Amino acid sequence: MFISFEGIDGSGKSTQAKRCVQALRELGRDVVLTREPGGAEGAEEIRNLLLTGDPDRWSAETEILLFTAARRDHLEKTIQPNLDKNAVVVTDRFADSTRVYQGATRGDLRTHVDVLHREMIGIDPDLTLVFDMDPKVALQRGLARSSGEDRFEDFGLAFQQKLRDGFLALTNDFADRCVVIDASGSQDQVFERMWSVVKDRLQ
């Protein structure tokens, strides 16, 4: 089983991905937690290029190529080998992030994203959890963390609002695998919402 966690910056999905993995391990499952961009040695090097520096360091087109290159490495070295061993793979972001961040926010580049995805990646998760919340609140959380990897958060609130709309539109396009999780409230409340969906799908 291949599960992705998606959402705008600061939506709390990374915390919930960790908790999901913990809960799956408690059920005795073999689970791997990974993330994008990154999740393999080469892909982590590309991550560094993408997430640091000026917001206008790369055009959206260049980003599509770099994110897809990182994803291909991640797929070859981490995702596919673990799926082949029947492990559950949980990833903090996957191709839906490219569809939305690069495909839907700065010009309509979705066709490029889809062509590259089809040619170079070719798989989508069995289940995608989309963490949805008010971008104003999410942005405050995200920037408060100040990780040094804030290039996308530095695009500002209007950008985050476009991202939110993009993710919600995506869940309609891929209704069979995408579930929207209300990411407002306490960590425990969000966990309960997320876990009830994952548990259901496991059966």
The tokens for 111 are: 């066709």
Size of residue set near ligand TYD by CB under 6 A: 15
Count Cβ atoms within 10 A of the Cβ of residue 186 and give its class: 0-12 exposed, 13-18 middle, 19 or more buried: exposed
Q: Which is nearer to ligand TYD, 30 or 154 (CB)?
A: 154
Give alpha helix (H) positions in 76-156: 80-84, 95-97, 110-116, 135-145
9 belongs to the binding site for ligand TYD (CB under 6 A): yes
Say whether the peptide bond before residue 81 is cis (omega within 30 degrees of 0). Answer: no
155 belongs to the binding site for ligand TYD (CB under 6 A): no
Residues 59-98 vs ligand TYD: string with x where CB under 6 A? --------x-------------------------x---xx
The least distance separating ligand TYD from the CB of residue 203, rounded to whole angstroms, comes to 29
Residue 179 backbone dihedrals phi, psi, to 5 degrees:
-130, 130
Residue span binding ligand TYD (CB under 6 A) among the ranges 7-15, 74-82, 126-134, 188-196: 7-15
The amino acid sitting at 82 is N
Distances (CA, A) of 119 to 11, 70, 116, 123: 30, 14, 5, 10
162 belongs to the binding site for ligand TYD (CB under 6 A): no
The least distance separating ligand TYD from the CB of residue 190, rounded to whole angstroms, comes to 15
Nearest residue to 42 (alpha-carbon basis) of 69, 14, 15: 69
Site for ligand TYD in 27-66 (CB under 6 A): 36-37, 51
15 belongs to the binding site for ligand TYD (CB under 6 A): no
- What 3-state DSSP class applies to 104? coil
Pick from 101, 159, 167, 191: which binds ligand TYD (CB under 6 A)? 101
152 belongs to the binding site for ligand TYD (CB under 6 A): yes
| Count of other CB atoms within 10 angstroms of residue 143 | 14
Binding interface with ligand TYD (CB under 6 A):
9-10, 14, 36-37, 51, 67, 93, 97-98, 101-102, 142, 149, 152
